[in-house]
Chain A
Amino acid sequence: MLTRPKSVFSEIGTRAIENGLADPTISAFYEAIMSAPAGKTQEALKEFLPQLSLCSDKVSPLVPPPIFYVGRDSGQRHLFGDDWASPETSTTPLRTPDPDLERISAEAYMRALNDEPYYGYARTVVQAGSQSYEVAFERLIVTLRPSPVADYRICAYLGIIQDLQKTT
């Protein structure tokens, strides 16, 4: 009998994007960011903003950075819903509602913040409210300074859901 692990999180590396193997939206976003002249990254972001989630640069080995912006057409909004993505009041930083996904995702953000853009594939079961889903997605995480003089960075996350199935 064929078995497969519950979750797969693997880094593919940005060379695959450069070789044309990534989702077209991920390729276009990567190209736009990498080719943006110094100080022009905001303009490069504009076209893709509705599909992005933006996070801070506060990361630790088991805790990914808090999210502050979830684009209207982003994969995270699609998966977790508008109520999660746009809370009317917030007393705590915004994080995905699945603790396991949070813990596993931290490493990718650390790679992006400490080394270079992270491009990878993931397949896992996520909990959204009372429903669980098996979701497969590509994800690209790039870090940017909003201006040349900013002393902080933002993480821009582009996740493209390839498959989404209810499991319960």
Chain B
Amino acid sequence: MHRTHYRPLETYVPEHIQPCSKPASDLKAAIEAANLGDMWSMILTLDYGVSEVEELSVEKQDEFLNVMALLLKAYQS
């Protein structure tokens, strides 16, 4: 018997509103707590050309947040 499985429409999440894999607000708070907020702004502005991380695509947000995670580790080591 042929069966077709449909995903309910309400489970579809458009790519542009998919959540980022890392919570940006948590990471930014950790960066601020480590007094590294200047670097958050500097990399975001100079390299990505935006002032808020939410202005980036999901892929670019992930890329930027990975850099910030490395920044935190680099100054905590």
When the two chains form their complex, are residues A152 and B70 in contact, meaning their CB atoms are under 8 A apart?
A: no
What is the size, in residues, of chain B's interface with A at 8 Å between Cβ atoms? 20
Q: Is the CB of B66 within 8 A of A93?
A: no
| Residue pair B47, A94 in contact (C-beta under 8 Å) | no
Mask, A70-96, CB within 8 Å of B = 1, is 000000000000000011111011100
Chain B interface, DSSP helix/strand/loop, else mixed: helix
Contacts of A56 in B (CB 8 A): 71, 74-75, 77
Q: Which residues of B contact A146 (CB under 8 A)?
A: 38-39, 42
Instruction: Tell me if B70 and A49 are in contact (CB < 8 A).
Output: no
Distance of A45 Cα from B34 Cα, bound (Å): 23
Stretch at the interface among A29-37, A61-69, A101-109, A114-122: A61-69
A163 contacts across to B, CB distance below 8 A: none
Is B75 a contact partner of A90 (Cβ separation < 8 A)?
no
Tell me the complex Cα distance, A116–B24, Å.
36
A93 to B75, CA, bound (A): 9
Residues on B with C-beta less than 8 A from A90 are: 66, 69-70, 73
- B75 contacts A88, CB within 8 Å? no
Number of A interface residues at 8 Å Cβ cutoff, please give it. 28
Q: Does B67 contact A (CB under 8 A)?
A: yes
CB neighbours (8 Å) of B47 from chain A are 49-50, 69
Instruction: Using CB atoms, name the residue of chain B closest to A58.
Output: B77
Given known contacts A66-B77, A67-B74, is B66 in contact with A154 (CB within 8 Å)?
no
Flag if A65 contacts B66 (CB, 8 Å).
no
Which residues of the partner chain A approach B77 to less than 8 Å between Cβ atoms?
56, 58, 66, 93
Interface string of B60-72 (1 = CB under 8 A from A): 0011001101110
Q: Mark B33-58, 1 if CB is under 8 A from A, else 0.
A: 00110110011011100000000000
Nearest CB on A from B36, distance (A): 7
User: Are the C-beta atoms of B63 and A152 separated by less than 8 Å?
Assistant: no
| B70 and A67 form a contact (CB under 8 A) | yes
A68 and B63 contact, Cβ closer than 8 Å, known pairs A42-B42, A42-B46, A147-B38: no
Q: Is the CB of B46 within 8 A of A86?
A: no
B38, A68: Cβ atoms closer than 8 Å: no
Give the distance in Å from the alpha carbon of A154 to the alpha carbon of B43 in the complex.
12
Jot down 6 A-B pairs with beta carbons below 8 A, ordered by A.
Answer: A42-B46, A55-B74, A56-B75, A92-B73, A93-B70, A154-B39
